[in-house]
């Protein structure tokens, strides 16, 4: 009888736990939907606040994933779907990918207007503003911030551990061009490295010969993701509005790919992503305040 009662109590406890988990899930889903509706509020400031909430959640998810997950150097093997996936996302956050996404963002912004003249002006303004901002920040990051911290890339440290001829300090002290030549020579001279690392990853490690901290790819990705998401919220195309969080997921994958490819550390992508997100939100708030002041004056 005692055993039967204990078994019944255990089943009852598990059933209550499942019901409790289901209730928690429903409450979270309901809260998510309520906040999601606010994303399409007529109040610009509410829209920006909700977008900043979602962007912060995605950024925190990236931080937790790269710090607690064992993703470093998981995307370097040849003939690997994961490697190809990470290379795709990392290139989408590079120069070519950023340019295409910038153009797409400008087009979405321009399509909010009915007048072709206004569309053309909006397109040109967005390209010049966002393009100039990204180019300026990329230059500052590469030639000022990274040179102040002088943090070597994880990939370079990994390569140098496979040989004894050059120290990490000597590699860091080299100019970028010579660093690329040295890395190429080491990789091509090592049969183990040739067999271990996929050819596109080898070329990526050689090309990305600059310093590591902070991640420029993660900065660009989160900056663009917030701006693209905001432009999609204001889009006249209904289905595009409901896909407004996809750019944030893309930014997450760009940051994760940088760690998986060994191009950056968890700290690099966390700080780079945070900088990009905060700068984008700062400009959105500044633009909203500017419009609010103009309306008040009128």
**142 and 18 in a common domain:** no
Count of structural domains, the chain: 2
> What six digits make up the tokens of 265?
């550390």
**33 and 50 in a common domain:** no
SS3 category, 79: coil
Whole-structure pTM value? 0.84
**140 and 67 in a common domain:** yes
CA angle 188, 189, 195 (to 5 degrees): 65
Q: Would you say residue 187 lies in a domain?
A: no
SS3 annotation, 45-114: HHHHHHHHHHHHHHHHHHHHHHHHCCCCCCCCCCCCHHHHHHHHHHHHCCHHHHHHHHHHHHHHHHCCCC
> What six digits make up the tokens of 4?
């039967």
Judged on CB neighbours under 10 Å (0-12, 13-18, 19+), 214 is buried
Residue 13 is predicted with a pLDDT of 46
Residue 1 is predicted with a pLDDT of 47
Q: How far apart are CA 284 and CA 286, in angstroms?
A: 5
Q: Would you say residue 270 lies in a domain?
A: yes
**108 and 67 in a common domain:** yes
> 135, 153, 160: which is closest to 208 by C-alpha?
153
For residue range 127-166, what is the model confidence (pLDDT) as tens digits? 888 888 888 888 888 888 888 888 889 998 888 887 777 8
Q: Would you say residue 143 lies in a domain?
A: yes
Q: Would you say residue 246 lies in a domain?
A: yes
- Per-residue tens of pLDDT for the chain, all 298 residues: 444 555 555 454 445 555 555 555 555 555 555 565 656 666 778 888 888 999 999 999 999 999 998 899 999 998 899 999 999 999 999 888 888 888 888 888 777 777 787 778 878 888 888 888 888 888 888 888 888 888 889 998 888 887 777 888 888 888 888 988 988 888 888 777 788 889 999 999 999 888 899 999 999 999 999 989 988 887 777 777 788 889 999 999 999 999 999 999 999 999 999 999 999 999 888 877 765 565 555 5
**219 and 121 in a common domain:** yes
Q: Would you say residue 112 lies in a domain?
A: yes
For residue range 233-243, what is the model confidence (pLDDT) as tens digits? 877 777 777 88
Q: Would you say residue 78 lies in a domain?
A: yes
**85 and 25 in a common domain:** no
**57 and 134 in a common domain:** yes
Q: Which domain holds residue 28?
A: 1-38
């Amino acid at each position: 009888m005692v055993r039967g009662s204990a078994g019944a109590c255990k089943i009852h406890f598990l059933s209550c736990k499942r019901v409790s988990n289901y209730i928690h899930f429903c409450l979270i889903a309901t809260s998510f939907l309520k906040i999601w509706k606010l994303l399409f509020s007529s109040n610009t400031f509410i829209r920006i606040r909700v977008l900043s909430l979602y962007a912060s959640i995605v950024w925190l998810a990236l931080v937790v994933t790269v710090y607690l997950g064992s993703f470093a150097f998981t995307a370097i093997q040849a003939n690997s779907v994961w490697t190809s996936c990470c290379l795709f996302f990392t290139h989408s956050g590079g120069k070519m990918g950023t340019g295409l996404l910038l153009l797409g963002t400008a087009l979405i912004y321009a399509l909010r207007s009915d007048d072709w003249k206004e569309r053309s002006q909006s397109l040109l303004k967005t390209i010049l503003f966002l393009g100039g901002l990204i180019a300026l920040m990329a230059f500052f990051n590469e030639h000022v911030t990274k040179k102040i911290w002088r943090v070597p890339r994880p990939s370079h440290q990994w390569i140098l551990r496979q040989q004894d001829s050059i120290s990490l300090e000597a590699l860091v002290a080299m100019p970028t061009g010579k660093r690329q030549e040295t890395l190429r020579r080491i990789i091509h001279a090592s049969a183990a490295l040739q067999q271990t690392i996929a050819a596109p990853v080898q070329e990526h490690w050689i090309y990305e010969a600059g310093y590591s901290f902070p991640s420029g790819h993660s900065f660009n990705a989160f900056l663009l993701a917030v701006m693209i998401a905001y432009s999609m919220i204001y889009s006249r195309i209904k289905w595009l509005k409901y896909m407004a969080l996809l750019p944030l997921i893309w930014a997450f994958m760009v940051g994760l790919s940088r760690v998986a490819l060994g191009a950056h550390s968890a700290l690099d992508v966390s700080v780079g992503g945070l900088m990009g997100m905060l700068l984008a939100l700062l400009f959105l708030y500044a633009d909203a305040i500017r419009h609010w002041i103009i309306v008040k004056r009128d």
